[in-house]
Structure 1
Amino acid sequence: MTLRTGHTGLNVTDLDRSLAFYRDVLGFTLLAEGKEDDRRYAFLGEGEDEGKGDGGPVLTLWQQAEGPYDRARAGLHHLAFTADSLAGVERYQRALAAHGVDFAYEGVVAHREGAASGGIFFHDPDGTRLEISVPHGLEAAPAPHTSAPTCGFF
């Protein structure tokens, strides 16, 4: 038996702010939402109308965090998304820059020196580390570190 990731749940401090980021900037579709004051959440996915996936959730946002992401605590290291192409990564980079997101590295970078894979690395509104990458096409791209994978310590 082989397991696959079904969806990822993230604790957030402000559901409205996080929903706007993941929906409006990254392009996820809102599939369902819980609006009770102490039980707010949002299921996000690709949506059946986009012709991808089964329309089920890819990401769930839970408004229950009291503070921002803490990289010093055990748990989620980073959340990685895969784009269809290098041009897709570059479109996300432009949209994120227009939204004022701070990137961990300048431009699109390789996962390591000489790697064909790589992408962009940044943080969501609560500081959760995110990556959007492609598996090939970046053989000539720079790698920020020679001793560790790019996604490891941003």
Structure 2
Amino acid sequence: MKTELPFTGVEHIGIKALNMEKALDFYREVLGFKFLYQIKPGDVELAFLELGGTVVELVEVIDGRRFEDGVINHLALRVTDIFKAIDYLQSQQVEMPSLEPMSLGEGRYNFFFHGPSGEKIELYQG
């Protein structure tokens, strides 16, 4: 019997933006992405855009932290129960920096870990 996996789809793909306004103009005007919203939950500004059901999160580059983790910053996977997803990853011996997701308020959570090649992956429950 196959275990039902906790992942329901790609939530978004995070891409570094050296200049947020220039990046927003490019994704909207040149590529035809629809602007969804922009937030600044901490030091870094984030902008979300959508095209054909795929969401791109532009991640502002600050303090010279350009590309230590690549231009593609992270892949975010949508989950219905982030706590069960973390338990599942733990059962698969995935190395994780912690076992506690971050609360984003209003029942939303995220959790970051790394894949086998060091790629940054986010779980998102919203």
* TM-score when normalising by structure 2: 0.40
| Greater share of strand | 2
